[in-house]
Amino acid sequence: MGYKVTLDDLKNFRQLGSNTPGHPENTHTDGIEVTTGPLGQGISNAVGMAIAERHLAATFNKPGFPVIDNTVYAIAGDGCLQEGVASEACSLAGHLQLGNLIVLYDSNGIQIDGSTKLGFTEDVLERYSSYGWQTLAVADGDNDLEGLTRAIEAAKAEPNRPTLIKVETTIGFGAAKAGTEGVHGAPLGAESLAAVKALFDFDPAQKFSVSDDVYRLYGERAAEGARREEEWHALMARYAQAHPELHAELVRRIEGRLPQGWEKALPRYTPEDKPVATRKLSETVINAIAGVVPELIGGSADLTGSNLTRWKGAVDFQPESTGLGNYAGRYVRYGVREHGMAAISNGIAAYGANIPFASTFLNFISYAAGATRLSALSHLRVLYIMTHDSIGLGEDGPTHQPIETMAMLRATPNYLNFRPADGNEVSAAYLAALQHSDCPSVLSLTRQNLPQLEGS
């Protein structure tokens, strides 16, 4: 397929220092788009990638020039769909009518502890249908490849709903312990492995043997991919002629270059300026840069009026049919979904050409920690704009006070932590956060007014 993964890499599967670990990372293995080790993160990242595609398509596509036009695919299992973060993200995906998202749900009824009947007996398709998804099923995922193909084609034909395809399979199909937790991440053993090879007409005596027919098939797929890439480059060349300004802007964003001179828009202060809360100073920065850094896209987990993250003239990212905004909009209404918000932001960042931000009270970044640490591990530029940074946060009391939160954030590798003390430091925090393209940043902001300091 053109990726830099060799047969020798496969021989070192799950070994220390291997290029093929059990949970591959986007920064280590070629072809890995997102780091998804903890369950539920990958499907949530996929929602973010689908949002990014819809937004860029609405921003840059013109009649005859579908320069952004792809479907996002994800594969998820029973464990993924048990995680709360997946429910948060998928609920929002249904509301946003992301018809460019297709999830293949490998329903094998097994997890590490045993059968999913031990604690996961809901009707998943009914749940996703209630989210606003199209739901399809393939009853014999072990054999019915034609049925699977038909389901994918039906999913691609649905423009306004994400699709979940439930594919019922047998874990370890063909092995002696097929259909049990005994084949979940464990080697089959020589005897069982030989039996599986014989079942599928492989020579049991051969190891890591790949036939010429397989190489030929995948070579054809790689050639097809290369041909389509050439077609896209040709389309982009015509787009450059027809829409030169849009083309230059899209290329800049794909290459990850910030706009020339954008930092000149950052506010500056002197000690003579009045004391202001740093969350309010952050709002001033966002209003100043929103127009000159158009790749900035994000929102708040139902705390917009407290986080002060929506700039003047902002348009919400919403389906036009709702009358609430459009896909060219850049303000995302995440609802009370902190963990989903962070995981979705990782997907937006991974897609590229966008810089996502996510906002809530500092205390509630703990709700999102499963995804925020993956921002750091994945080297993704996500801005976490966190307000109410201390015990002085109003009427809410100890449940909302971020006592241990800063210690957790500061202990996370590859994570920029800013707690600005005045207006110039707020501007500097945004400057550093946007300039560092290989790590996330958290801006911890006050509710209380702070003086503008001498020499800051």
Strand partners for 77: 106
Contact 184, 110 (CB under 8 A): yes
Query: Both tokens of residue 398?
Result: 């100890």
List strands edge to edge, sheet with 101-107: 72-77, 101-107, 163-168, 134-138
Helix (H) or strand (E) holding 102: strand 101-107
Of 291, 290, 295, nearest in space to 254 by CA: 295
Contact 108, 181 (CB under 8 A): no
Contact 2, 30 (CB under 8 A): no
Phi, psi of 77, rounded to the nearest 5 degrees? -120, -175
Active site residue 83: no
320 Cβ contact list (under 8 Å, min separation 6): 326, 327
Q: Which stretches does DSSP call E strand in 354-432? A: 355-361, 383-387, 416-418
Q: Which of 263, 338, 425, 454 is catalytic?
A: 338
Q: Cα separations (Å) of 159 from 30, 118, 134, 163?
A: 31, 37, 10, 10
Strands 276-277 and 441-445, sheet pairing: unpaired
358 Cβ contact list (under 8 Å, min separation 6): 298, 299, 300, 301, 334, 341, 342, 345, 368, 382, 383, 384, 385
Round to whole Å and give the CA distance between 281 and 177: 61
Round to whole Å and give the CA distance between 124 and 409: 35
Cα dihedral angle (439, 25, 233, 65), rounded to 10 degrees? -70
Round to whole Å and give the CA distance between 171 and 107: 9
Q: Look up tokens 């290989």; give the residue.
A: 438
Round to whole Å and give the CA distance between 4 and 2: 7
Of 453, 446, 451, nearest in space to 385 by CA: 446
Provide the 10 A C-beta neighbour count for residue 209.
Answer: 11
**Which residues are annotated as catalytic?**
338
